[in-house]
Amino acid sequence: MARSNPDRDAVDDIVAQWHQQRPELDVSPLEVFGRLHRNYVYYQSSLTALFDRHGINMAAFDVLAALRRSGPPYRMTAGQLAEMALVTTGGMTLRVDRLEKAGLVERERDPDDRRIVYSRLTEAGLRVLEVTATDHFANESRMLAGLTPAEQAGLAHLLRKLERSILAAESTEPEQPHADSA
């Protein structure tokens, strides 16, 4: 269904419906989080298609990219990788296992402390990452083409600020839900 007002979107319609059905309810957060969610769904779909074309997934890209960004010799411990990806070391171990089976990373022990195990990019992993990263960032640039550089910078600033706000909210006690009186 075509919209008569091109400045309106599905979130505007949802907010209007809430206002009609529950005018006393403040649904204004939906204007931010609803749009963030919808944008993320579109973004993730685009990324999934791109990574599929390169034979990897988003989790694999995260690991390969973290190793590449670390610089030569492109190696990190599971703990370092987990911290960057915001996953547990157990979750990272599963990711590295899959990448190792695919020949994109290999594990190596620290020669000075055999308890330390590094995951290191293989030549094949580096090749896959280089091509995928080039396509990935071109894809992201294409998705941002509707925003000016100043708008992109402003949005990045606001999203950073939003993350801090969400983290601060998580560290405070949530308000208890209102119980309906019977």
* Helix pair 123-143, 29-53: axis angle to 10 deg: 140
pLDDT value for 182: 47
Which tens digits make up the pLDDT trace of 133-157? Answer: 999 999 999 999 999 999 999 999 9
Q: What is the pLDDT of residue 85?
A: 81
For the segment 11-39, the average pLDDT, to the nearest whole number, is 96
CA 153 to chain centre: 18
Report pTM. 0.82
- pLDDT for 40-88, tens place per residue? 999 999 999 999 999 999 999 999 999 999 999 999 998 899 888 878 8
Where do we find the tokens 């919808």? 38
Maximum CA extent, the chain: 69
The pair phi, psi for residue 105, each rounded to 5°, is -135, 160
**Quick one: CA dihedral 6, 163, 42, 137, positive or negative?**
positive
- For the purposes of burial, counting CB atoms within 10 Å of the CB of 82, is it exposed (0-12), middle (13-18) or buried (19 or more)? buried
